[in-house]
Amino acid sequence: MLKVCVIGGGPSGLMAAYTASLEGHQVELFEKNKQLGKKLQLTGHGRCNVTNNCSKDEFFKHVVHNEKFLYSSFSQFSNLDMIQFLKSHGLPTIEEDHGRMFPGSNSSQDVVLLFVDLLRKNNVILHMDEACTDLLVEDDRVVGIKTDKGTYSFDVVIVATGGKSFVSTGSSGDGYQWAQNLDIKVSDLYPGLVALRTKEDFDLAGLSLSNVGIQIKKGKKVLYKECGDILFTHEGLSGPAILAMSSYVINSKPERIILDLICDKSIDEVDMLLLERMNHSSNKKLSHILETMIPKRLVQYVMNRLYIDASLKANETTKAQRRSISELLKCLSFEIANFAGFDQAMITVGGIKTNQIQPQTMEAKKIKGLKFVGEVLDLDAQTGGYNLQIAWTTGYVAGSTIKEGAN
């Protein structure tokens, strides 16, 4: 029996503590907050999007950085295993759009309570409201930890301290500093799944659009191209498609975002459609005709941006004006100021480099007995339960691979 320490009571830490206890080890979990799973309880607007019910291949398509690192760990514990795990412990899940899985009770607290119950049944010692301040290492082997309340000896230490997002939940980036102190490489850190801020001001806050083409450019280079749902905000753009895009380009200093408001048609097809509707209602205001194609608030913005009089009728509109509208609907461009910071980020992009970690066990290659799991690693994915599953998987592997004599 080995003495195992888990630092952090989030999803990866809870899973690591549980699976380590199943192996018969003496496990102690340290959490700086007064409650476990504080950030977990915020996910999915309090409902907890625990995982995604998709194939392995589909899952990896949604991992933004370093998906190959997860191949080994996924073969040990996958998203489908997580669904079965919850069901076997009396917490069945329900599936919603795009394969998103939620607890049947629709309460994230039930997920936390399940793990609390499992840990207590397996005699895991919980150190609540106790912050770890440093790792103790001798001769390239971890030997314990220091906290704000004392010093402890351990054979294995699993760092599950999370990233830098949701600072209010205790995620302050401690794990990155401990890794760097031990010469374990950490990549640059960026806020992930965040809104975009534009340099232009517009009065469109609250307007949401579906199936919009998104193109991100730096100079002439296209950094990202995708289709999805967006939301205009007071500062710029958000919505599922914008959040997903941010993780791919935030470290590339993008300059422009170009929106294609009618992405299933070419410019010529949009122009022809507009001409047909203008001919059909030639005495109507041009703005009213445009309202049959895009939302009213967006019509006002388009007309203002092109300096077209709002009272202009269809039969008074020139070919050049019509064409300029068609082009703008296909190519609505904004200059990017920046992205929202860690205070608004759902996840952290970057972290402990995966080439510093053994993918089969989550153990640091340089320090025996020291493991890293969850968001502290340079692993991130799109929204939809994928990031939580990375936490479950890496935590499971770290805890279940602790063997006497091997660590």
Cα 67–chain centre separation = 14
Q: Residue 405's pLDDT is what? A: 65
Last residue of a domain, one of 307, 332, 357: 332
Within-domain flag for 396: yes
Say which DSSP state 142 is in.
E
Q: HSE-up of 181 (CA within 13 Å, CB side)?
A: 10
Residues 83 and 207 in one domain: no
Strand partners, 145: 135, 152
Residues 208 and 324 in one domain: no
Residues 186 and 58 in one domain: yes
Residues 135 and 203 in one domain: no
Last residue of a domain, one of 308, 332, 356: 332
Residue 92, number of CB atoms within 10 A of its CB: 12
Residues 299 and 159 in one domain: no
Residues 186 and 199 in one domain: no
Distance, in Å, from the CA atom of 287 to the CA atom of 300, rounded to the nearest integer, reads: 8
Within-domain flag for 277: yes
Q: Residue 406's pLDDT is what? A: 56
Quick one: angle between helices 11-22 and 108-121, nearest 10?
30
Instruction: Please list the rounded mean pLDDT of every run of 10 residues in the chain (407 residues).
Output: 97 98 97 92 86 97 97 98 97 95 94 97 97 97 98 98 84 93 97 96 94 97 96 96 96 96 95 95 94 95 95 95 97 97 93 98 98 98 96 98 76
Residues 170 and 243 in one domain: no
Residue 316 domain boundaries: 267-332
Residues 147 and 177 in one domain: yes
Give yes or no for a contact between 119 and 6, defined as CB atoms under 8 angstroms apart: no
Distance, in Å, from the CA atom of 199 to the CA atom of 236, rounded to the nearest integer, reads: 8
Q: Residue 291's pLDDT is what? A: 96
Counting the structural domains of the chain, the total is 3
Residues 16 and 58 in one domain: yes
Strand partners, 241: none
Give yes or no for a contact between 360 and 401, defined as CB atoms under 8 angstroms apart: yes
Distance, in Å, from the CA atom of 197 to the CA atom of 301, rounded to the nearest integer, reads: 18
Residues 61 and 83 in one domain: yes
Within-domain flag for 285: yes
